[in-house]
Amino acid sequence: MRATVFFRLLMMKDLKYKVRTFLAILVALVAVFVVNANVEPCDGNACDSDSDGDTVDAGTLNNKIMAGCQGWFNAAGDGAGRGWRHWGNGSGNTPNADNITIDMWPDLREYDADELYNTDFKYSNGSTAGL
């Protein structure tokens, strides 16, 4: 990670958002450490599917944990003062079908409603989808 990510974290005004971002970074780093702590590199036939589980098959994403932090994504009203940033095409508008640029919708089930920012998207039950 670049130092600018941590600088931006320190400059955030909203303490709740700052803590959540810091914890997301910490979880990602711990996940990477745990996944890599006790594995041996895959070489030759040790990558076969009938392997003993102690090696890593670098040729597939199956049975892997991917973690990351997109701490530079912002929403209007999140305390950073940047409006909607990195969710869409750079217009700064509320995310909608015409400007969204993310590949997958994030799993936000652990967030409370007051931690999300409304978009122009709707869930299948008709409720507003937040980010």
Burial label for 42, CB within 10 Å (0-12, 13-18, 19+), is middle
For residue 87, name the pLDDT band (cuts at 50, 70, 90): confident
Tell me: the pLDDT tens digits for 17-69?
667 777 777 777 777 666 555 555 555 555 555 555 667 788 888 877 776 66
Segments making up each domain of the chain, as ranges? 3-41+68-130
- The amino acid at 59: G
Whether this model's pTM surpasses 0.75 = no
Instruction: For the chain, report the end-to-end CA distance as a whole number of angstroms.
Output: 23
Tokens read off for 109: 């089930």
Please count the CA atoms within 13 angstroms of the CA of 55 that sit on its side-chain side.
Answer: 15
Tell me: the pLDDT tens digits for 88-105?
887 888 999 899 988 888
